[in-house]
Amino acid sequence: MPIEQIDFSRRTYQAPFGVVTVVGSDLGIRYVLFSDDAHPKPLEQLRISDTAIHDSVNEAIKQLEEYFNGSRRDFELPLDLRGTEFQVAAWNALADIPYGHTASYGQQAVSIGRPKAVRAIGGANGRNPVAIVLPCHRIVGADGSLTGFGGGIAVKKWLLDHEQSTLRSATSDRA
């Protein structure tokens, strides 16, 4: 496959559970990746500069830092999503799941008007290119169990626990 003729930059961020890599361009963020991603992304197809850093990448790192320190619940970043119409709809639906809450694959399928596409939702979520930013970690099995996640179940659990802890802390601060 040919290399995209867009200049990308990347930065890494040391999250509490491991390294997260952000890749973006002037168009927006293309990837937020875990070091042990179950679905590796085709970075070799991108022209990545190791010297120039796009503003979108710096902003993503800043917002991830805020998320991890508990001061950010929603991301406000330009995204450069590449996938099928179905995948992009599934990924965008993830942004509607409130911080600290979960939804099932079935609920996500209903939210995009495709109630019978539960398995396809799982496949799309597994290929979510911007983990954490579009929070596929908030999707759980119909029985509430923690199921598949590109960064691994331990990371999924950590992210959900982090959000719950942040919410509890905010509630106790107001009491």
Active site positions, annotated: 136
Do 57 and 10 touch, CB atoms closer than 8 A?
yes
- CA distance linking residue 82 with residue 43, whole number of Å: 13
User: 3-state DSSP helix/strand/coil percent for the chain, to nearest 5?
Assistant: 40, 20, 40
And the tokens for 117?
């596409």
Which residue matches tokens 């190791």? Answer: 50
* 29 touches 79 (CB < 8 A): yes
DSSP state of 110: H
How do beta strands 47-49 and 28-34 pair? unpaired
